[in-house]
Amino acid sequence: MDAVGNDLVWLGDPANQGRHHEDRLMGRILCSEERRFVETAGEPHRTLWSLWAAKEAAYKAYVRTRPGSVFSPIAYRVVAGSEPCVWHAGAPVPLVWDHGPDWVHALVGHNPREIVPRVESSFSPEKASEDLRALAVRIFGEAGWPPGTIEGRPPLFWVDGRPTALAFSLSHDGPYLAVAFRSTPFRSA
């Protein structure tokens, strides 16, 4: 899969606290194996949101290749271990996690270790979407892409009024922004 997916979860969000104790939520988003993984984890709170981030990231990559797909977290199965992946539609998608003191970040896509991730603090959470798009444009420029804009859902990177083939994903939660992209040479789509 050439598509890139990433998702960031701020662990400090009060709405996320203690959710690993909610049987109804756990049953809606996790399979029995994932539930056991959370229940036996040393940090169940962080583990739950790591699994959630992986599922969201996989969905973001999947919807790039199948627009209009609907997200059903239980349809994505996270397999942790030496080669983590997310299974969906009968196929595994490689997965890499990154963790900060109060956040978790998941990346998915073909050769996820070749995906360039960036997590930064947002100085104005009320403008997180706008700040995130500006951050992405800046990061793409640092990687050699010409100036452009990010438009649409799912977002595309546009240069000179045309969409490019840049594979990327955006995420934000609370005070954090995350951009992930596959560093490839500039070309129009």
**pLDDT single digits (tens) 147-174:** 999 998 889 999 999 999 899 999 999 9
- Residue 188 predicted with pLDDT over 70: no
Q: Does the predicted model carry a pTM greater than 0.85?
A: yes
Q: CB–CB of 117/71 below 8 Å?
A: no
**Tokens describing residue 17:** 């606290």
- CATH fold for domain 5-182: Ribosomal Protein L22; Chain A (3.90.470)
Instruction: Pick the closest to residue 8 from 165, 132, 183 (CA basis).
Output: 132
Instruction: Pick the closest to residue 153 from 172, 130, 170 (CA basis).
Output: 170
pLDDT for 12-28, tens place per residue?
999 999 999 999 999 99
Angle between helices 44-65 and 32-39 (to 10 degrees): 150
Helix (H) or strand (E) holding 5, with range, is: strand 5-10
Q: CB–CB of 95/57 below 8 Å?
A: yes
| DSSP code, position 68 | T
- Pairing, β 156-159 against β 91-100: unpaired
**Tokens describing residue 62:** 């999947």
Cβ atoms within 10 A of the Cβ of 8, count? 27
